[in-house]
Protein backbone atom coordinates (compact mmCIF):
# COMPACT_ATOMS: atom_id res chain seq x y z
CA UNK A 1 0.00 0.00 0.00
CA UNK A 2 2.88 2.38 0.77
CA UNK A 3 4.38 1.74 -2.67
CA UNK A 4 0.96 2.17 -4.30
CA UNK A 5 0.41 5.49 -2.52
CA UNK A 6 3.86 6.72 -3.60
CA UNK A 7 3.33 5.68 -7.23
CA UNK A 8 -0.08 7.39 -7.36
CA UNK A 9 1.04 10.61 -5.63
CA UNK A 10 4.06 10.96 -7.95
CA UNK A 11 1.99 10.36 -11.10
CA UNK A 12 0.59 13.28 -13.08
CA UNK A 13 -1.07 11.40 -15.98
CA UNK A 14 -2.75 8.13 -15.08
CA UNK A 15 -4.28 5.68 -17.57
CA UNK A 16 -6.64 3.23 -15.92
CA UNK A 17 -7.97 -0.07 -17.32
CA UNK A 18 -10.91 -1.50 -15.39
CA UNK A 19 -12.88 -4.74 -15.67
CA UNK A 20 -15.89 -6.35 -14.04
CA UNK A 21 -14.00 -6.72 -10.76
CA UNK A 22 -14.30 -3.01 -9.96
CA UNK A 23 -18.12 -3.33 -10.07
CA UNK A 24 -18.69 -6.53 -8.06
CA UNK A 25 -18.80 -4.52 -4.83
CA UNK A 26 -21.65 -2.56 -6.40
CA UNK A 27 -23.55 -5.84 -6.61
CA UNK A 28 -22.84 -6.71 -10.27
CA UNK A 29 -21.41 -10.23 -10.84
CA UNK A 30 -18.24 -10.51 -12.89
CA UNK A 31 -17.70 -13.12 -15.60
CA UNK A 32 -14.91 -15.54 -14.63
CA UNK A 33 -14.85 -15.59 -10.85
CA UNK A 34 -16.48 -18.60 -9.17
CA UNK A 35 -19.95 -16.97 -9.26
CA UNK A 36 -19.23 -15.20 -12.55
CA UNK A 37 -21.73 -14.99 -15.41
CA UNK A 38 -19.70 -17.20 -17.74
CA UNK A 39 -18.83 -19.69 -14.99
CA UNK A 40 -22.50 -20.68 -14.73
CA UNK A 41 -22.78 -21.56 -18.40
CA UNK A 42 -19.93 -20.97 -20.83
CA UNK A 43 -22.27 -21.40 -23.83
CA UNK A 44 -23.73 -18.00 -22.87
CA UNK A 45 -20.69 -16.46 -24.55
CA UNK A 46 -21.88 -17.93 -27.88
CA UNK A 47 -25.20 -16.18 -27.45
CA UNK A 48 -23.70 -12.75 -26.71
CA UNK A 49 -22.24 -12.65 -30.19
CA UNK A 50 -22.91 -10.61 -33.29
CA UNK A 51 -23.42 -13.83 -35.24
CA UNK A 52 -26.18 -15.05 -32.91
CA UNK A 53 -27.79 -11.58 -32.86
CA UNK A 54 -27.96 -11.60 -36.65
CA UNK A 55 -29.27 -15.17 -36.83
CA UNK A 56 -31.76 -15.11 -33.92
CA UNK A 57 -32.36 -11.52 -32.77
CA UNK A 58 -35.52 -12.39 -30.77
CA UNK A 59 -33.83 -15.27 -28.87
CA UNK A 60 -30.72 -13.10 -28.51
CA UNK A 61 -32.71 -10.50 -26.56
CA UNK A 62 -34.28 -13.11 -24.27
CA UNK A 63 -30.84 -14.51 -23.37
CA UNK A 64 -29.25 -11.04 -23.23
CA UNK A 65 -31.85 -9.77 -20.75
CA UNK A 66 -31.57 -12.96 -18.70
CA UNK A 67 -27.76 -12.80 -18.54
CA UNK A 68 -27.47 -9.05 -17.93
CA UNK A 69 -30.62 -8.72 -15.83
CA UNK A 70 -29.03 -6.80 -12.98
CA UNK A 71 -27.32 -4.38 -15.33
CA UNK A 72 -30.57 -3.88 -17.25
CA UNK A 73 -32.39 -3.27 -13.99
CA UNK A 74 -30.11 -0.24 -13.73
CA UNK A 75 -30.36 -0.18 -9.94
CA UNK A 76 -26.76 -0.06 -8.81
CA UNK A 77 -24.37 2.64 -7.58
CA UNK A 78 -20.63 3.29 -7.97
CA UNK A 79 -18.49 1.94 -5.10
CA UNK A 80 -15.35 3.35 -3.46
CA UNK A 81 -13.23 1.97 -6.31
CA UNK A 82 -15.02 4.13 -8.89
CA UNK A 83 -15.12 7.07 -6.50
CA UNK A 84 -11.37 6.91 -5.82
CA UNK A 85 -10.68 7.36 -9.54
CA UNK A 86 -12.99 10.37 -9.60
CA UNK A 87 -11.22 11.80 -6.54
CA UNK A 88 -7.80 11.44 -8.19
CA UNK A 89 -9.14 13.47 -11.12
CA UNK A 90 -10.65 16.09 -8.79
CA UNK A 91 -7.30 16.39 -6.98
CA UNK A 92 -5.77 17.56 -10.26
CA UNK A 93 -4.41 14.39 -11.84
CA UNK A 94 -5.06 13.71 -15.51
CA UNK A 95 -7.01 10.43 -15.23
CA UNK A 96 -8.18 8.57 -18.36
CA UNK A 97 -10.36 5.51 -17.68
CA UNK A 98 -10.64 2.72 -20.27
CA UNK A 99 -13.25 0.30 -19.06
CA UNK A 100 -14.33 -3.12 -20.30
CA UNK A 101 -17.51 -2.68 -18.26
CA UNK A 102 -20.84 -1.77 -19.85
CA UNK A 103 -22.49 -0.74 -16.57
CA UNK A 104 -21.87 3.01 -16.85
CA UNK A 105 -20.65 3.24 -13.22
CA UNK A 106 -17.56 5.35 -13.99
CA UNK A 107 -19.86 7.95 -15.59
CA UNK A 108 -22.20 7.70 -12.61
CA UNK A 109 -19.23 8.26 -10.26
CA UNK A 110 -18.59 11.52 -12.13
CA UNK A 111 -15.30 10.66 -13.86
CA UNK A 112 -14.64 13.00 -16.78
CA UNK A 113 -12.64 10.88 -19.22
CA UNK A 114 -14.25 7.47 -19.63
CA UNK A 115 -13.77 5.33 -22.72
CA UNK A 116 -16.09 2.31 -22.99
CA UNK A 117 -14.07 -0.35 -24.81
CA UNK A 118 -17.04 -2.74 -24.81
CA UNK A 119 -19.82 -0.18 -25.28
CA UNK A 120 -22.68 0.43 -22.91
CA UNK A 121 -25.80 -1.39 -21.73
CA UNK A 122 -27.63 1.95 -21.35
CA UNK A 123 -28.43 2.30 -25.04
CA UNK A 124 -29.55 0.26 -28.03
CA UNK A 125 -29.56 1.49 -31.63
CA UNK A 126 -31.70 0.52 -34.60
CA UNK A 127 -29.52 -1.39 -37.11
CA UNK A 128 -31.71 0.04 -39.91
CA UNK A 129 -32.14 3.76 -39.19
CA UNK A 130 -29.53 4.20 -36.41
CA UNK A 131 -32.00 5.73 -33.95
CA UNK A 132 -30.65 5.48 -30.34
CA UNK A 133 -32.95 4.21 -27.56
CA UNK A 134 -32.36 4.42 -23.79
CA UNK A 135 -32.43 1.52 -21.32
CA UNK A 136 -35.87 2.53 -19.98
CA UNK A 137 -37.35 2.04 -23.45
CA UNK A 138 -35.43 -1.23 -23.92
CA UNK A 139 -36.86 -2.55 -20.65
CA UNK A 140 -40.44 -1.86 -21.74
CA UNK A 141 -40.54 -4.72 -24.23
CA UNK A 142 -39.14 -8.27 -24.24
CA UNK A 143 -37.71 -7.72 -27.72
CA UNK A 144 -37.19 -3.96 -28.22
CA UNK A 145 -38.21 -2.61 -31.64
CA UNK A 146 -37.26 0.70 -33.21
CA UNK A 147 -39.67 3.40 -31.99
CA UNK A 148 -39.90 4.87 -35.50
CA UNK A 149 -43.28 3.65 -36.77
CA UNK A 150 -41.97 3.37 -40.31
CA UNK A 151 -39.05 1.22 -39.14
CA UNK A 152 -39.90 -1.18 -36.26
CA UNK A 153 -36.63 -3.12 -36.68
CA UNK A 154 -35.28 -5.16 -33.72
CA UNK A 155 -32.74 -2.97 -31.87
CA UNK A 156 -29.11 -3.98 -31.29
CA UNK A 157 -27.65 -3.24 -27.81
CA UNK A 158 -24.84 -0.68 -27.77
CA UNK A 159 -22.65 -3.41 -26.25
CA UNK A 160 -19.64 -4.77 -28.15
CA UNK A 161 -20.62 -8.40 -28.78
CA UNK A 162 -18.21 -11.27 -29.33
CA UNK A 163 -17.28 -10.85 -32.97
CA UNK A 164 -17.56 -7.04 -32.86
CA UNK A 165 -14.56 -4.70 -32.87
CA UNK A 166 -13.44 -3.33 -29.48
CA UNK A 167 -13.74 0.48 -29.31
CA UNK A 168 -11.31 3.27 -28.30
CA UNK A 169 -8.34 0.94 -28.62
CA UNK A 170 -6.05 3.46 -30.35
CA UNK A 171 -7.01 6.10 -27.78
CA UNK A 172 -5.99 3.67 -25.04
CA UNK A 173 -2.54 3.03 -26.55
CA UNK A 174 -2.02 6.74 -27.12
CA UNK A 175 -3.07 7.55 -23.55
CA UNK A 176 -0.82 4.91 -21.93
CA UNK A 177 2.16 6.00 -24.04
CA UNK A 178 1.84 9.54 -22.62
CA UNK A 179 1.13 8.42 -19.03
CA UNK A 180 3.49 7.89 -16.11
CA UNK A 181 1.20 5.39 -14.39
CA UNK A 182 -0.92 2.52 -15.80
CA UNK A 183 -3.40 1.28 -13.20
CA UNK A 184 -5.23 -2.00 -14.01
CA UNK A 185 -8.14 -2.80 -11.69
CA UNK A 186 -10.50 -5.79 -11.48
CA UNK A 187 -9.87 -7.70 -14.69
CA UNK A 188 -8.68 -11.24 -15.34
CA UNK A 189 -6.88 -9.94 -18.47
CA UNK A 190 -8.19 -13.03 -20.28
CA UNK A 191 -9.96 -11.34 -23.17
CA UNK A 192 -8.11 -10.44 -26.35
CA UNK A 193 -7.06 -7.76 -27.38
CA UNK A 194 -7.06 -6.16 -23.88
CA UNK A 195 -4.82 -8.93 -22.57
CA UNK A 196 -2.12 -7.78 -24.98
CA UNK A 197 -1.89 -4.23 -23.58
CA UNK A 198 0.25 -4.85 -20.45
CA UNK A 199 2.68 -6.91 -22.56
CA UNK A 200 3.06 -4.08 -25.07
CA UNK A 201 4.03 -1.59 -22.35
CA UNK A 202 6.04 -3.76 -19.96
CA UNK A 203 9.41 -2.32 -21.13
CA UNK A 204 8.44 1.36 -21.00
CA UNK A 205 10.89 2.63 -18.37
CA UNK A 206 8.96 5.84 -17.65
CA UNK A 207 5.68 3.99 -17.03
CA UNK A 208 4.77 2.51 -13.63
CA UNK A 209 2.45 -0.49 -14.01
CA UNK A 210 0.14 -1.54 -11.15
CA UNK A 211 -2.40 -4.40 -11.03
CA UNK A 212 -5.11 -4.53 -8.36
CA UNK A 213 -7.12 -7.75 -8.62
CA UNK A 214 -8.80 -10.15 -6.19
CA UNK A 215 -7.15 -13.19 -7.81
CA UNK A 216 -3.80 -13.78 -9.53
CA UNK A 217 -3.78 -13.36 -13.32
CA UNK A 218 -1.44 -14.83 -15.89
CA UNK A 219 0.02 -11.37 -16.43
CA UNK A 220 0.91 -10.62 -12.78
CA UNK A 221 4.69 -10.90 -13.48
CA UNK A 222 4.45 -8.11 -16.07
CA UNK A 223 3.52 -5.48 -13.47
CA UNK A 224 5.83 -3.42 -11.21
CA UNK A 225 3.35 -3.80 -8.35
CA UNK A 226 0.55 -6.37 -7.89
CA UNK A 227 -1.96 -6.19 -5.03
CA UNK A 228 -4.33 -9.15 -4.61
CA UNK A 229 -7.35 -7.74 -2.85
CA UNK A 230 -10.73 -6.08 -3.24
CA UNK A 231 -10.54 -2.78 -5.09
CA UNK A 232 -13.22 -1.22 -2.87
CA UNK A 233 -11.33 -1.94 0.35
CA UNK A 234 -8.01 -0.83 -1.20
CA UNK A 235 -9.62 2.38 -2.46
CA UNK A 236 -11.01 3.10 1.01
CA UNK A 237 -7.58 2.58 2.58
CA UNK A 238 -6.00 4.86 -0.02
CA UNK A 239 -8.64 7.54 0.49
CA UNK A 240 -7.80 7.58 4.20
N1 LIG B 1 -11.78 -6.28 -6.39
C2 LIG B 1 -10.76 -6.63 -7.22
N3 LIG B 1 -10.85 -7.63 -8.14
C4 LIG B 1 -12.03 -8.29 -8.21
C5 LIG B 1 -13.13 -7.99 -7.37
C6 LIG B 1 -12.96 -6.94 -6.42
N7 LIG B 1 -13.94 -6.58 -5.58
N8 LIG B 1 -14.16 -8.84 -7.69
C9 LIG B 1 -13.70 -9.64 -8.68
N10 LIG B 1 -12.43 -9.31 -8.99
C11 LIG B 1 -11.57 -9.88 -10.03
C12 LIG B 1 -11.78 -11.36 -10.26
O13 LIG B 1 -10.91 -12.10 -9.42
C14 LIG B 1 -11.42 -11.51 -11.74
O15 LIG B 1 -10.06 -11.85 -11.90
O16 LIG B 1 -11.92 -9.24 -11.23
C17 LIG B 1 -11.63 -10.11 -12.31
C18 LIG B 1 -12.81 -10.07 -13.26
O19 LIG B 1 -12.45 -10.82 -14.40
P20 LIG B 1 -13.58 -11.22 -15.44
O21 LIG B 1 -14.75 -11.78 -14.71
O22 LIG B 1 -12.91 -12.04 -16.50
O23 LIG B 1 -14.07 -9.84 -16.04
P24 LIG B 1 -13.29 -8.97 -17.11
O25 LIG B 1 -11.81 -9.17 -17.02
O26 LIG B 1 -13.80 -7.59 -16.99
O27 LIG B 1 -13.81 -9.61 -18.51
C28 LIG B 1 -13.44 -8.91 -19.67
O29 LIG B 1 -14.81 -10.43 -20.95
O30 LIG B 1 -16.70 -11.61 -21.21
C31 LIG B 1 -16.06 -10.46 -21.60
O32 LIG B 1 -17.08 -8.50 -22.31
C33 LIG B 1 -16.82 -9.25 -21.17
O34 LIG B 1 -15.92 -7.12 -20.49
C35 LIG B 1 -15.86 -8.52 -20.26
C36 LIG B 1 -14.52 -9.07 -20.68
- Domains within the chain, CATH numbers bracketed: 2-28+78-122+165-239 (3.40.50.1220), 42-74+128-157 (no CATH)
Could you tell me the distance, in angstroms and rounded to a whole number, from the CA of residue 146 to the centre of ligand 1? 32
pLDDT < 50 stretches in the chain: none
What pLDDT, on a 0 to 100 scale, did the predictor assign at position 178?
98
| Torsion sign over Cα 135, 83, 188, 98 | positive
What pLDDT, on a 0 to 100 scale, did the predictor assign at position 99?
98
What pLDDT, on a 0 to 100 scale, did the predictor assign at position 239?
87
Among 82, 106, 107, 118, the active-site one is: 118
Number of H helices, E strands in the chain: 12, 9
Mutate-to-test residue for ligand 1 from 213, 219, 226, highest number of ligand atoms within 8 A of CB: 213
Which of ligand 1's atoms lies nearest the C-alpha of 19? 26
| Torsion sign over Cα 162, 77, 220, 88 | positive
Nearest to 17 by CA among 216, 218, 179, 240: 179
What pLDDT, on a 0 to 100 scale, did the predictor assign at position 54?
94
Contact 60, 7 (CB under 8 A): no
Closest residue by CA, ligand 1 atom 30: 31
Give the contacts of 87 (CB within 8 A, at least 6 positions apart).
239
Can 82 be counted among the known catalytic residues?
Answer: no
Cα 63 to Cα 3, 43, 95, 137, 164, distances in angstroms: 44, 11, 35, 18, 18
What pLDDT, on a 0 to 100 scale, did the predictor assign at position 190?
95
Amino acid sequence: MRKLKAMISEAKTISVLTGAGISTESGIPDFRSTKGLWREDVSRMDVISRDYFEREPELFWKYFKDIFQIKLSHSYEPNSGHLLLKELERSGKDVRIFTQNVDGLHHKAGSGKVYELHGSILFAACPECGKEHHLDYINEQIVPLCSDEACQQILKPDVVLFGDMVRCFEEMYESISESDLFLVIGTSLEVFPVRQVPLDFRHKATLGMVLINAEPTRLDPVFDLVIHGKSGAIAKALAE
